[in-house]
Structure 1
Amino acid sequence: MFVIGSGAKHLEEEISRHGNLINVEIKKFPDGEKYVRVLERGKEAIVIQSTYHPQDENLIEALLLGDALSEAGFKKLKIVIPYLAYSRQDRVTKEGEPISVRAIMKMLGLYYDELYVFDIHNPKTLEHFPGIAKNIYPAEAIANYFKDKLGEGLILAPDKGALERAKRVAEVLGLEYSHFEKERISPTEVRMKPVDVDVNGKNVLIVDDIISTGGTMIKAANILRELGAKEIFVVATHGVFAEGAIERVSKAVNELAVTNTIPTEVSKISIVDYIVKLGEKE
């Protein structure tokens, strides 16, 4: 049985075709505080709550849903967070800072037995969650969307840190993969180039976890065009998108697509099948 939070309303119609939804009431008091009420009883529930903007509000709602479900007698609670806010704040860079993602994980662990996230920035941070925590990478969904567009193309990661994502998509498609290497030429200039692959005359898919400003993707696409790449596609799991980023990236490539962990105008790839399978394991 699924509970749909405010941050996952864009997934509700699709999920409802595959599983039962628990009826909940969610609203705001006049002072801005959230109100949550569970209107059914049961033993197990899966809360689905993405935590894009307003991040803090969606996180608090996830906690209130966990408390309300426990109060209503549910004994086992799982939470699926398609996009986990604060996941990039995973280390201390200046004295006195928190490890923000650790605080979020511990907080969620007060109510939830299992946590499932999609393509978290640093999978090692899941160790902060006190229960079962798993990272889901939607390689098959991404590969299926692009397989007819790419042909005998290749998959590239924008840097070595994203190479595993490129590898997973490439393995589904049976294609070659590599990554961009960054070389600092001067204090203000960085050069990027694909490592050990020839992109001339080939379609290329650039794969990453998050697109925010889109600057890296645009630079990578421009380099690929200079090297003779044919058609250039860009995909990310999470379309965070700073203002104007969708338009800027779309102009630089043949197609931009992201999954629907966050609702955007280019959220063309659905993660719902992965969520439904979690419900089938109950």
Structure 2
Amino acid sequence: MFVIGSGAKHLEEEISKNAKILKTEIKKFPDGEKYVRILEHGEEVIVVQSTYRPQDEHLIETIIIGDALKEAGFEKLKLVVPYLAYSRQDRVTKEGEPISVRAIMKMLGLYYDELYVFDIHNPKTLDFFPGKAVNIYPAKVIAEYFRDKLENGLVLAPDRGALERAKEVANILGLEYSHFEKERISPTEVKMTPVDVNVKGRNVLIVDDIISTGGTMIRAAEILKDLGAEKVFVVATHGVFAEGAIERVSKAVDELAVTNTIPTKVSKISIVPEIMRSILEVKS
């Protein structure tokens, strides 16, 4: 059985085609506080809750859902978080700062036995969760979406740190992969160069975990076009998108697509098949 939080309502219809949705009541009191009521009973349940903006509200709701499920007698709680808020705050850079993702992981661990997240910024931070924690990279659904658009194609990561994502997608498609090397020319200028690959006349897919302002993707697309790439596609797991970023990136590339960990107008790739494969082990 599944419980769908307010941050995952956009996934509910598709999930309901494969699994039972537990009857719940989630609403707000007049003062803005959340109210949760579990209307059915059972032993094991999977809660799906994405924690994009308003992040704090979605996180608090997740905790209250966990408490309500325990109160209703559920013994094993699994939590699927398509997008985990605070995951980029994974280190101390100035004295007195918290490791915010650690605090979030410990909080979730008060109620949930297992945690499944999608393409977390730093997989090592899953060690902060006290139970079983799994990072899912939706390479298969990304690859399938772009399969027909990448004949004689190439998959690139915007930097070496994202190379593993490019590798996973490329291996599914049987394509070559590489990354951009960055070289700082001045305090305000960075040179980006694809490493050891020829992009001329080829369709290129750039893959990353998060797009916020989109500046890196726009610069990468410009470089690829200058080098003779035929078409440039951009994909990310999480479309955080600062104001105007969708429009700016879309103008610079042939297609922009993200998964639906966060609902946006370019969330064209569903992660629900990955939820079914990874948590329920449903073959598809």
TM-score computed with the length of structure 1 as normaliser: 0.99
Q: Where does the alignment leave 5 or more consecutive residues of structure 1 unmatched?
A: none
Q: Distance in 1 between matches of 2:237 and 2:186?
A: 32
Matched, 1:7 2:31: no
Partners of 2:4 and 2:48 within 8 A in 1: yes
The structural deviation recorded for 1:236 is 0.2
Q: How many residues align?
A: 282
Instruction: Output the amino acid matched with 1:106.
Output: K
Tell me the CA shift for residue 57 of structure 1.
0.2
Matched, 1:221 2:221: yes
Matches within 5 A, 1:100-115: 100-115=100-115
Quickly say closer, same or farther: Cα 1:268–1:132, change in 2 above 3 A. same
User: Unaligned stretches of 5+ in structure 2?
Assistant: none
Runs of 4+ with deviation above 4 angstroms: none
Q: Is residue 6–residue 58 contact of structure 1 (8 Å, CA) maintained in 2? A: yes
Structure 1 Cα separation of the partners of residues 191 and 177 of structure 2: 20
Partner Cα distance (1:280, 1:7) in 2: 21
Given that 1:19 and 1:279 are in contact with CA atoms closer than 8 Å, whether structure 2 keeps it comes out as: no
Residue deviations 1:172-217 (CA, integer Å, cap 9, x gap): 0010000001101112211111011111111000000000010000
CA distance in 1, matches of 2:178, 2:78: 36
Q: Are the aligned partners of 2:109 and 2:130 in contact in 1 as well (CA < 8 Å)? A: yes
1:79-118 paired onto structure 2 within 5 Å: 79-118=79-118
Task: Report the Cα distance in structure 2 between the residues aligned to 1:107 and 1:120, rounded to whole angstroms.
Answer: 17
Q: Work out the CA distance in 2 between the residues paired with 1:31 and 1:256.
A: 39
Pairing 1:1-282 to 2, within 5 Å after superposition: 1-278=1-278, 280=280
**Residue 82 of structure 1, CA deviation:** 0.2
- Deviation of 1:121 after TM superposition, in Å, equals 0.5
State the Cα RMSD in Å: 1.0
- What is the deviation of 1:273? 1.0
Provide, for residues 153-176 of structure 1, a one-character-per-residue CA deviation record: whole Å limited to 9, x for no partner: 100000111000000000000100
Give the direction of change, closer, same or farther, for the CA distance of 1:132–1:198 in structure 2 (3 Å limit).
Answer: same
Deviation at 1:59, TM superposition (A): 0.3
Is contact 2:141-2:274 (8 Å) kept?
Answer: no
8 Å Cα contact 1:181/1:193 also seen in 2:
yes
Secondary structure of the structure 2 residue equivalent to 1:280: coil
Using the aligned pairs only, state the percent identity. Answer: 78
Report the Cα distance in structure 1 between the residues aligned to 2:264 and 2:280, rounded to whole angstroms. Answer: 28
Paired residue type of 2:6: S
Deviation at 1:17, TM superposition (A): 0.6
Q: What amino acid is the match of 2:265? A: E
Shift of 1:280: 2.9
Partner deviation per Cα, 1:98-125 (whole Å, 9 max, x = no partner): 0000000000000000000000000000
Q: Aligned letter for 2:247?
A: E
- For 2:9, the aligned partner's letter is K
TM-score under structure 2 length normalisation:
0.98
